[in-house]
Structures are given as structure tokens and as C-alpha cells.
């Protein structure tokens, strides 16, 4: 991932990757079909571990607390592995094979984790019934990605994970009806 982040996906060579891993170039081909396969594997493994952690969030937390923990988990992963995050958020978009096949399953699992959180928030009355939850999911993903990209491409000295409660609160307030808004009466 460091080779991809340093050289870019297309410019990185298998020899760069092997050198960074401290193995012979041929060893890479014993386990992976090439650069695309390496990228796909890193993405699936990372997203799979994240989704497993997201499913373990305590159900007794409020919606905003669960959302903040979900965001914090994601931001902590970005902070802990900025090279991997750079590759997954930037370089992966340059691979023609990246969003096909098994990656779609990983992305669906990520979307399902957010959908489940939003559904539970709706059941608890934290999100009013008129909220388009698939649109809310896409908005959350887009907002998190923008914050992560800004951090990755900018000044990494400020902690990203510390923003999680503020991001969760702001996002949740955007889903909560204000007085006079359709759906507000049901929550009053």
C-alpha cells in the first residue's frame, strides 16, 4: 500500500511492492494475480474488518452515540493507516477492476451497516419517518469521505477521530425534524 500511495497505482511496480514487503517479486505472484488483486484484497480485508467492528457497536447506545462511534472507528482506521486510506480513497478509482465483483459485496456490507444503524435510529424515534434513509446513507458516506480526503491531502496534525462526535451530532440534527417541518408532530 505504501508503494501505491507513494508512486500512484499505475506507476507502482510489483518490484516496488516486493521491495517494500521485503520479499522477492515472484513471491507476490504466489499470493496475488497482480496489482489489481493486491488492491482488491486490501480493500475487502479492511472493509470487512470495519463492518465486523461496526456490527459490534452496543445496541444500548443512543443513535447519536452509535453514529459517533461508527464515525470514530472509520476515522481511527484512516489515521492508523494513511497509506492504505490514500490508496483506497484515491488510487482505487483508477483501477478498472476495482468496483466489480467481490468489492461490490464489501461495499454492500458497508452500506448495510449504515442502513441498519439508520433503521435502528428510526425505530427509536431519533430519525423521523420522512427521512429517505438510502439518501441519508449516501450523504453520510459522502461527508465522511470528504472529511477523510481533506485530512489525507492536507494537514494531518489535527486528530481526525476527535471530530467524530461533532460530525455525528451535525449529521443527526440534519435528520431530526424542526418545529413545523412535516414529521415533527410524530416526535413531539
Question: Would you state the pLDDT for residue 7?
Answer: 80
φ, ψ for residue 95 (rounded to 5)? -95, 125
Which cell goes with 176? 431530526
- Topology adopted by domain 34-176: Tetracycline Repressor; domain 2 (1.10.357)
Question: Would you state the pLDDT for residue 105?
Answer: 82
Question: Would you state the pLDDT for residue 100?
Answer: 67
Question: Would you state the pLDDT for residue 119?
Answer: 92
pTM, rounded to two decimals: 0.80
CA 115 to chain centroid, in Å, comes to 14
Q: Where exactly are the structural domains of the chain?
A: 34-176
Question: Would you state the pLDDT for residue 3?
Answer: 81
For 116-147, the DSSP string reads: HHHHHHHHTTSS-TTS-HHHHHHHHHHHHHHH
Question: Would you state the pLDDT for residue 97?
Answer: 62
Residues of the chain with pLDDT under 50: 183-188
Residues with Cβ within 8 Å of residue 131, at least 6 apart in sequence: 118, 122, 175, 183
Closest residue by Cα to residue 86 from 24, 12, 13: 12
Amino acid at each position: 500500500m505504501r508503494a501505491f500511495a507513494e508512486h500512484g497505482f499505475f506507476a507502482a511496480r510489483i518490484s516496488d511492492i516486493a521491495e517494500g514487503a521485503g520479499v522477492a517479486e515472484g513471491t507476490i505472484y504466489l499470493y496475488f494475480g497482480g496489482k489489481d488483486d493486491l488492491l482488491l484484497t486490501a480493500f475487502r480485508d479492511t472493509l470487512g474488518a470495519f463492518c465486523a467492528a461496526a456490527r459490534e457497536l452496543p445496541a444500548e447506545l443512543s443513535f447519536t452515540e452509535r453514529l459517533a462511534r461508527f464515525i470514530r472507528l472509520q476515522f481511527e482506521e484512516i489515521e492508523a493507516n494513511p497509506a492504505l486510506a490514500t490508496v483506497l480513497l484515491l488510487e482505487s478509482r483508477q483501477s478498472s477492476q476495482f468496483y466489480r465483483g467481490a468489492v461490490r459485496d464489501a461495499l454492500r456490507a458497508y452500506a448495510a451497516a449504515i442502513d441498519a444503524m439508520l433503521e435502528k435510529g428510526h425505530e427509536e424515534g431519533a430519525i423521523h419517518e420522512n427521512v429517505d434513509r438510502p439518501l441519508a446513507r449516501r450523504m453520510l458516506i459522502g461527508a465522511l469521505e470528504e472529511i477523510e480526503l481533506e485530512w489525507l491531502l492536507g494537514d494531518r496534525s489535527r486528530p481526525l477521530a476527535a471530530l467524530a462526535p461533532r460530525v455525528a451530532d451535525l449529521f443527526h440534527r440534519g435528520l431530526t425534524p424542526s418545529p413545523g417541518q412535516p414529521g415533527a408532530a410524530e416526535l413531539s
